[in-house]
Structure 1
Amino acid sequence: MAASSGQHTKEEGIIAAPAGYSAIPIKFSKKSRSHHFLYVKEHRVREELDPTRPQDRTLFILNVPPYCTKKCLSELFSRHCAIESVELQEKPGPAQKAEITRAQSKFFSQKTVPGFRVAYVVFKSQEGAQAIKSLKPREPLVISTKTRCIKTGIAKWIHDYSTTLIDPGELQTEVDAFMQEHDKRIAEEEAKAEEEEGVPDEEGWVKVTRKGRRPGIPRTEAANLRALEREKKRRARKELLNFYAWQHRESKREHIAQLRKKFEEDKQKITLMRAQRKFRPY
């Protein structure tokens, strides 16, 4: 049964690899008995879409193990040609945008992605990319050596734990530096906005901001009272009438009281008209 293109097999000295890729065997250390492969091919994306990765000097690498860092890849491939940059990503895609003016944060940097990753290696010359692409080592390349030791086991756990401990002084220093840079950038933007205010752009439009508006006139006491009265009326309109039983009883009592009051007023009017002899019931 024929082996698939992605299997790690050897037939007649040829290592099977996906179409368009070259296979480079690697292993963790000299004592390791098992190894796996890095699949390498030339990066082919238009430079205007990915300007940081030139076509003729960039290699795209698949199947990068979790313990293989940027430094490891740089030292492995720098034997053939000087390397300009190495990028590790979770999946293929454009270069991650980073702020060049600001130094990378020690405490707020992005977390490393666990598991196998992809890499983009940019060489300083075309010869380096071609040499790695056609590389066919007899023995697997070793990742961890005496000069390039990768921590494992207890040593790795201790190192990972120590990196989680934060020094308050260093953290405060970084936060203060960030806030100073932020305040400086805001001040520059405000100064630029003031310079551009009132100046027409290329199409003749003038930018209007709230800074030039007249301050509001404070309201008088009478105006405040009128506003309170309007608010009371608005709340009274929203209030539910005769919704509860006690509201229904109160409305009946008020209606009866108004009828009695009107009856007494009518009696007084009749008495007054009789006294004036102007009452003619028939």
Structure 2
Amino acid sequence: MATSKKKHVKAEEAVVAPVGYTAIPIKFSEEYQSPHYLYVKEHKVREDTDPNKPPNRTLFVLNVPPYCTEECLSRLFSSCCSVQSVEMCGKPTLGEKPEAPKSKFFSTKTLLGFQVAYVVFKSPAGIQAAKSLSTQGPLVISSDKHPVKTGVHKWIARYAASLVDPVELKTEVDTFMQGYDQKVAEEEAKAEEEDGVPDEEGWVRVTRKGRRPGLPRTEAANLRALEREKRKRARKELLNFYAWQHRETKREHIAQLRKKFEEDKQKIALMRAQRKFRPY
């Protein structure tokens, strides 16, 4: 038995971490014998420093298993120093943290597989203390005091959390619609204030409600509009006002049709004479 223990210790010491990282052994529970390794290093970036990840106090963690949650990491590293925050994501991020979803009903996204994490300590001493965990025994994720759900129990808990409370959903939708209606009313009020006011280039805004009234016409524009109306009225003639005018119009139309018919007959007769008429 003693020999097997020595071999186990040698196997743990033989683990080689990537360059710049420190390997910290963990295991899911006390019954597990084979450890899993987290690779950690101090988080440093040259540009776009995120205020949520302050330098000298942020630990970057790789190879986080799916069963390890933010609460688990906070509990594991709290033995080194007080933990301020823990952020987990599918891959390393640059710059500021993405905006949190506004709704828990419509913006849910479950991270699957292995992840990376950013652990922020309240004191810079937490970085070195976390690296020193590599020389200690494996840290336990799930215990009797802090159990972690996996397998079917995890699926059941996730399904139960995905069920929507109708009352809470209705409250959130009503709140959203109130804000939307208020925003639309403000935009309409702003559009009404800008009605008829040209921009810097002299253009007047046109919306789907129709053309907005522009600036008042000048005297020259009014005179031109009156001249156009006079010419239009002069071109108009009062046709078919009397019954005899209506009869004369019909007779002229019939006469034109007969004349056209006779001309067409003559054309057909000429084409027949020239043997160019092929009706079939």
TM-score with structure 2 setting the length: 0.62
Which amino acid is 2:67 matched to? Y
Deviating above 6 A after TM superposition, structure 1's stretches of 4 or more consecutive aligned residues are: 189-198, 204-208
- TM-fit CA distance, 1:153: 3.2
User: Quick one: percent identity of the two aligned structures?
Assistant: 55
The answer (yes or no) to whether the contact 1:42–1:133 under 8 Å persists in 2 is no
Residue number in structure 1 paired with 2:128 = 130
Counterparts of residues 1-282 of structure 1 (less than 5 Å):
10=10, 13=13, 15-46=15-46, 48-94=48-94, 95-99=96-100, 104-185=102-183, 209-210=205-206, 214-215=212-213, 260-262=261-263
SS at match of 1:60: strand
TM-fit CA distance, 1:133: 2.5
- Partner in structure 2 of residue 250 of structure 1: none
Query: How far did residue 149 of structure 1 move?
Result: 1.1
Contact 1:27 1:35 (8 Å CA) reproduced:
yes
Output the CA distance in 2 between the equivalents of 1:159 and 1:42.
Answer: 34
Secondary structure, counterpart of 2:116 in structure 1:
strand
Q: Residues 206 and 212 of structure 2 are in contact (CA less than 8 Å); yes or no, is this contact kept in structure 1?
A: no
How far does residue 50 in structure 1 lie from its aligned partner after superposition?
Answer: 2.7
Question: Residues 12, 109 of structure 1: CA spacing in aligned structure 2 closer, same or farther, 3 A cutoff?
Answer: closer
SS of corresponding position for 2:117: strand
Quote the offset at 1:60 in angstroms: 0.8
Deviation string 1:69-121 (CA, Å, 9 cap, x unpaired) is 1111111112222222211111112244215xxx8533223312210011111
Give SS of 1:62's match.
strand
TM-score, structure 1 as length reference: 0.62
164-173 or 119-128: bigger deviation: 164-173
Partners in 2 of 1:132 and 1:72 — Cα distance? 15
Q: Distance between the aligned counterparts of 2:85 and 2:193, measured in 1?
A: 40
Q: 1:63 touches 1:118 (CA, 8 Å); kept in 2?
A: yes
Q: Output one character per residue of 1:220-270: Cα deviation in whole Å (capped at 9) or x when no partner.
A: xxxxxxxxxxxxxxxxxxxxxxxxxxxxxxxxxxxxx9985315689xxxx
Cα deviation for residue 186 of structure 1 reads 5.2
Equivalent-residue separation in structure 1 for 2:203 and 2:38 (angstroms): 56
Kept after mapping to 1: 8 A contact 2:42/2:59? yes
Distance in 2 of aligned mates of 1:130 and 1:188: 54
